[in-house]
Amino acid sequence: MAAARAVLRQVFGQYPMWILFGLMYICAGGLMPDLLTAVNFQNTVVQGTVIGILSIGMTFVMLIGEIDLSIVSVAAFAPLMGVLSIQILGLPVLAALVLTVVVGAGVGLFNGLIIEKVRIPSLVQTLATWWILSGVVLVVTEGATKGGFPPEWNWLGSAYIGPIRVVLIFFVIFVIVVWYFSKNTKTGLRLYITGGNENSARAAGIPTSRIRILAFVLSGVIAAVAGYTLSARLAAISSRFGTEWLMPAIAAPVISGVSLTGGRGNIINVVAGAYIIQLIVQVIRMAGIGGYYSELTQGLLVFVAILIDTLRRRMMGIQE
């Protein structure tokens, strides 16, 4: 019994957001029994993948004490370039997917270099990039929804393996790879060290400038992956593609205890935070709350979730 209590204490201490998500889901299911069906549960999990992926990308930037507002525009721009390369240049789908990731990396590299070398604040630089890329997407799509993608492009979002959506399997693998990179590689650990104390990291021989630029490259790549995932699910890209996920992608890491000043964050908890946000959105939609009250209700519920986690961390003596 003592060993079991110790394990539970460790799990609650390290992964509290998953416990909070479970409790919230059960409570919501008590009020809305449809949520507890296998179909709706899988829908909630699948729909949360985009917020989850974007939140992970945002986490890497937050680990160095910065922010990236351009992620939602990258999530539209990068897959749009991939699709156009198929439709105009005749590239095979696999090459177009590689191009999508490369475009995301290029935008992230551009942001990182400007922020690090020109010393423009990340808030300003990534806001400018967001507007530029959103403008490009609007011009290319002419404000219309762009579809007609090859079946191979849409496969990730539409295929099943048995009763399980392929996109969900992809997401689990993605999270495992990113978690391993962040916790078990030299580069991943350097991100934490640089964000925790850049001067000490530099004194220890860590190339902090390159690490900071890398954080934005990772954010761009991951945003491109999120955009492709969403486009494969919807089989479409529009000028408003993914814009509603910016605030959730920022809120999920904050809820999960990622430090806004850098140096602390747990990828596994960030995924749970993303699912908490998705659950809030799902409950609001199922409750029929729309129009003027939808965003207000979402904001209030996110505030309550942040407040609960803040109180929990204070009770446990976790300092920001």
The per-residue pLDDT for range 60-82, each reduced to its tens digit, is: 999 999 999 999 999 999 999 99
Q: Which amino acid is at 176?
A: I
Q: What is the pLDDT of residue 271?
A: 95
Residue 281 located in a structural domain: no
Half-sphere exposure (Cβ direction) of 283: Cα atoms closer than 13 Å: 22
* Residue span of the structural domain in which 132 resides: 52-266
In this structure, of 40-54, 67-81, 120-134, the range with the lowest mean pLDDT score is 40-54
The DSSP line for 240-299 is TTTGGGHHHHHHHHHHTT--TTSS---HHHHHHHHHHHHHHHHHHHHTT--THHHHHHHH
Which of the pair, 278 or 175, is modelled with greater confidence?
175
Residue 307 located in a structural domain: no
Residue 147 located in a structural domain: yes
Cα–Cα distances in angstroms (integers) from residue 56 to residues 53, 85, 88, 248, 249, in the given order: 5, 27, 32, 12, 8
Q: And the tokens for 8?
A: 């539970």
pLDDT at residue 320 is higher than 60: no
Q: Give which of 111, 97, 64 is closest to 258, Cα–Cα.
A: 64
Structure confidence by residue, pLDDT tens digits, 88-114:
999 999 999 999 999 999 999 999 999
pTM as predicted: 0.90
Residue 309 located in a structural domain: no
142 contacts 85 by C-beta, under 8 angstroms: no
How far, in Å, CA of 235 to CA of 216, rounded? 27
Q: How many domains does the chain have?
A: 1
User: Across residues 301-320, what is the average pLDDT?
Assistant: 65
Residue 131 located in a structural domain: yes
Structure confidence by residue, pLDDT tens digits, 164-219:
999 999 999 999 999 999 999 999 999 999 999 999 999 999 999 999 999 999 99
175: number of Cβ within 10 Å: 18
Going by pLDDT thresholds of 50, 70 and 90, the confidence category of residue 7 is low
Residue 301 located in a structural domain: no
Which of the pair, 124 or 10, is modelled with greater confidence?
124
pLDDT at residue 10 is higher than 90: no
132 contacts 70 by C-beta, under 8 angstroms: no
Residue 296 located in a structural domain: no
The mean pLDDT of the chain is: 87
Q: What is the pLDDT of residue 2?
A: 59
Residue 74 located in a structural domain: yes
Structure confidence by residue, pLDDT tens digits, 240-251:
777 778 888 988
The H-or-E segment that residue 159 falls in is none
Which residues, other chains included, contact 236 with Cβ-Cβ below 8 Å and sequence gap of 6+? 145, 146, 147, 149
Q: Which amino acid is at 264?
A: R
40 contacts 237 by C-beta, under 8 angstroms: no
